[in-house]
Each structure stands twice: as structure tokens, then as C-alpha cells.
Amino acid sequence: MTAPRPDGRTAPGAGRTEPPAALPPADVPPGPVIAGPTSDGARPKSPAGVATLDDARTEPSTDHPQFDRPPSDGARPQSAADRPEAEADRPQSDCLIVGAGLIGASIGLALTQAGRAVHLLDADPELAAAAAALGAGRPWRPQDGADIGLVVVAVPPILLAPVAAEQLDRFPRATVTDVGSVKGPVLAELVALGADIGRYVGSHPMAGSHRSGPLGARADLFAGRVWVVAPPQPEDYARTAAVEALARACGARPVIMSAAEHDVAVAQVSHLPQLISSLLAGRLNAVPHQHLALAGPGMRDVTRIAQSDPELWGQIVSLNQAAVRSELEAVQADLAALIAQLDQPTAVRRVVERGRAGVMALPGKHGHRLGQAWEPVVVEIPDRPGALADIFATVALAQANVEDVAIEHDPKREVGYLTLLVDGPTAAARLGAAMVTAGWRLRP
């Protein structure tokens, strides 16, 4: 049970059977607290601080311009930084990052490089120290409390609301944001906890990594990525502007969305793909080894993100279950219709055609549709140091404009294949001829 504060009030979340980790008040020495589980599900050894968020997804850290669409009423939300009420030029206050895992430490690195004073707090002091040693800020000290103007909560999904509520209570003048993958349920729990949501602005950077912990952090992790900002009270321009400024300082592109729309969007483009990939990969456990030997790059493509963190995804999907259930039920209906018509080539063709159209709808380079009029040139990569550099040197000499690339491995031979996507058949023929002339082998 959360201990009463010195002013006689009880912090939000008091009486919970799994209380949030407490941050020591700025005016008293830190005392023992009850910390939540770390991102791997284990209890931290040290009671000081809160758990980390290691959003170690193996899904690609791609941009999501579809999040930049207007809301359902057609009105385009105005950026807080563009509003006259926003104090864009005011001096920046210190930032406290609660959770020094991959995401928290990456934010700390980016803000520190941007010249912002950053403090780090974690359930495991060694993680905070590791992040600090990398340049992500300095470990939190209670006497630093008066300078905190922004708190970034980067803890596991199930702890986002109670920890955010704790920070809102501890820092009555600070703006508090979280960087979790689900927004609506966090906001609803904050309201239920009686937190001051007038100073809370949810957010979600659309970036991740296959690595975890502060040692996997990068200052450029969010560069060029969408960072969703979901204010519960859009009219509070200054608070929203503070979180937009956070995103920009990390190199990201802030996009304003409601919490509800955000959760539907990520269910469609992130959570559903993760579950479908995991279900398909799970089926491979029952496939005989000799059959697995026939698997090609297509199977690897659709199962790559199945290597994601099970603990993290269990929490994410549980929180966003309403939106995810709706998407899964739609897929279930599509599967039932397909199974009923497997003997009809026309029906199967329609399924494949619809899938092709969906791929083309994905945004690609410069916002153009993915794969639009691109042609592949597939070059064999010898297994020797510098081979890739030599291939790209030939591409440069041919003055070819490569739109995208992909690499796959030959399961039997010690070679790989580099697919170079160029703009149309003419460009592909020209590049292919240049590669052959330079002595490279092409795959038909």
C-alpha cells in the first residue's frame, strides 16, 4: 500500500494490490518503495525507482504516415507549436525519464544531445547508471525535484497509468507523458485513479528495436519517425506543445491523434500483424524438419516479427484488446469465407488480388505507394568481406537510383542475394547490364 505523503494525502493508486513504484518526494530523503516488475516480468532486485520499458519489438521501425490523416470529422488538428498560445521560445526545464530501458534511454540520449538536462530513475539503479554512463542523463536525486518540468514515463504497459499518476502527484507543476503502445486504457485508468489529467498528455513514438535495455539505446532511434501525441484536453496548447517539443528534440515528427483513434490504428498496422505472424510461426513447431528445409524467404518475411518479446506483447494486446478483437474477428470472417471457397479458383484469386492491393496501399519512399512501378534486380552476393560495398560501388558507377533494397540468404550455398528495386523496367535493364559487365552474377 502506498505510504501517505508528508502533507497527509495518499498518493494515487493507494490500496491497489499491485501498487506503482513510488518516486521519493523532492522534499524528503528517498525511502523503501515497492517496485513493479521489470520488462522481462521479473521483480527488480532493488526497491528504488520503477520498472523499465524495453519495447524490444522486432517489427521494423518504419514511419507511419497513415497516422497523419485527419480525424473522422474531417478537421485537421492544428499543431500546438503553431498556435500563438504555445510558449515555443520559453527556457526548457529539466526532464525526468522514469524507466531507463531501450526507449527511455534512447529518449535521454536524444534530449541530452539536444542540450536538455535529463534525470533518470529506474527500479534497477544499475540500469539508470548504465544509461547515464552512455550519456542519457544523470541518475535522479530527490533535490532535483524543483527543476522538473517534464516527466516521461517509459515503463511496461501495465504500469503506465499508476506510475504516471504517481508522477502527476509528485510534480504538481510538471507535464507528464508516457510513451506506451496503448493510449485509451491508460487515460481511463488515470481518470479512475483521480489523477490530474489536465497535466497529462499521452504519446507514442512509432519506433523500436530488436535490442533491449539501455545498451541497445540510440540517440537517433526516433529520427524521422512519427511520434503520436494524444492530449486528453486538446485545448491545453502549452502542455501539448511541451510533448510535441519532446518529439521534435528526439528527431521525430509529432502527429496529433485522439487516444481512441490511435488505439484503432495501432491495432490495424502493428498489433494484428504481430499476432498473425506469431500464429503462423507457431504452426512451424508441428512441421517436420524435412519440410522446414523447403522454406524460402517468403516464410521468413511473414514470420520475422514473431521473434518479439512475449511478455511485452502480452501486456500490449491485453490493454488494447477491444480494438485487437475487432481486427481478429474480421480476419476470422475472411478465413471462414476462404475455407468455404477453396475449390473455387476465382474466390482464391480475389483474396490474392485484395492482398496485392493492400501492399500497394502502404506508404513507401516520399509517401508514394509501396512498390509503385518498381522493378527488381537481384545480385548474387559472394561470401567475402567487402562484397556488399563493391556491389554498391558498381551501382554508383551505373548512376542507378535505388528505391529500396532487401537481402536474403541461400540455405545451401555460401552466398546471399541483394534485391535492388529501381524505377521501372528500363532502369532495371540498364542496371542489370551494368552489373553483368562489372562481373556480378544476377539471379533470374
Which residue has 503520436 as its cell numbers? 228
How many Å apart are CA 8 and CA 34, to the nearest integer?
Answer: 20
As annotated, the residues of the chain forming the CATH 3.40.50.720 domain(s) are 65-257
Q: CA-CA distance, 220 to 214, in Å (whole number)?
A: 14
Q: Which residue stretches of 100-153 are H helix? A: 102-113, 125-133
Place of cell 474480421: 330
The answer to whether the beta carbons of residues 381 and 345 sit under 8 Å apart is no
| Fold (topology level) of 263-366 | 6-phosphogluconate dehydrogenase C-terminal fold (1.10.3660)
> Which CATH number does 373-437 carry?
3.30.70.260
- Cα separation, 8 vs 170, in Å, equals 13
- List every span in the chain annotated with CATH 1.10.3660.10: 263-366
Q: What is the pLDDT of residue 373?
A: 66
Distance CA 67, CA 203 (A): 13
| Alpha-carbon span 86 to 70, nearest angstrom | 21
Nearest C-alpha neighbor of 307 from the set 13, 53, 60: 60
Is beta strand 148-153 parallel, antiparallel or unpaired with respect to 175-178?
Answer: parallel
What's the start-to-end Cα distance of the chain, in Å? 67
DSSP secondary structure letters along 243-263: HHHHHHHTT-EEEE--HHHHH
Give the cell for residue 97: 525519464
Distance CA 234, CA 16 (A): 30
Would you list the DSSP string of 67-88? GGSPPTTSPPPPPGGGSTTS-T
| pTM of the predicted model over 0.75 | no
CB-based contact 182:263 (threshold 8 Å): yes
Query: CB count, 10 Å around CB of 146?
Result: 11
In whole angstroms, what is the distance from residue 71 CA to residue 429 CA? 44
Instruction: Name the grid cell of 228.
Output: 503520436
All CATH 3.30.70.260 domain ranges in the chain, comma separated: 373-437
Res 203: pLDDT? 97
CB atoms within 10 A of CB 278: 16
Q: Considering all CA atoms of the chain, what is the largest pairwise distance in Å, rounded to the nearest integer?
A: 81
Q: In terms of Cα–Cα distance, which of 198, 203, 117 is closest to 152?
A: 203
pLDDT in tens, the chain (444 residues): 333 333 333 333 333 333 333 333 333 333 323 233 333 333 333 333 344 444 433 333 333 333 333 333 433 344 444 443 333 334 468 999 999 999 999 999 999 999 999 999 999 999 999 999 999 999 998 887 778 999 999 999 999 999 999 999 999 999 999 999 999 999 999 999 999 999 999 999 998 776 778 988 999 999 999 999 999 987 778 899 999 999 999 999 999 999 999 999 999 999 999 999 999 999 999 999 999 989 888 898 899 899 888 999 999 999 999 999 999 999 999 999 999 999 999 999 999 999 989 988 887 655 555 545 688 999 999 989 999 999 999 999 999 999 888 888 877 788 889 999 888 889 999 999 999 999 999 987
Residue 374 pairs in a beta bridge with 423
Give the model's pLDDT for residue 210: 66
What pLDDT is attached to residue 74? 38
3-state SS, residue 4 = strand
String of DSSP letters for 86-109 = S-TTSPPPEEEEE--SHHHHHHHH
Q: How far is Cα 136 from Cα 119, in angstroms, rounded to an integer?
A: 8
**Predicted local distance difference test score (pLDDT) of residue 136:** 96
Task: Say how far apart CA 422 and CA 60 lie, in whole Å.
Answer: 22
Name the architecture of domain 65-257: 3-Layer(aba) Sandwich (3.40)
| CA pair distance 328, 324, nearest whole angstrom | 6
Q: What is each CA distance from 403 to 36, 147, 370, 376, 422, in whole angstroms?
A: 45, 47, 10, 10, 5
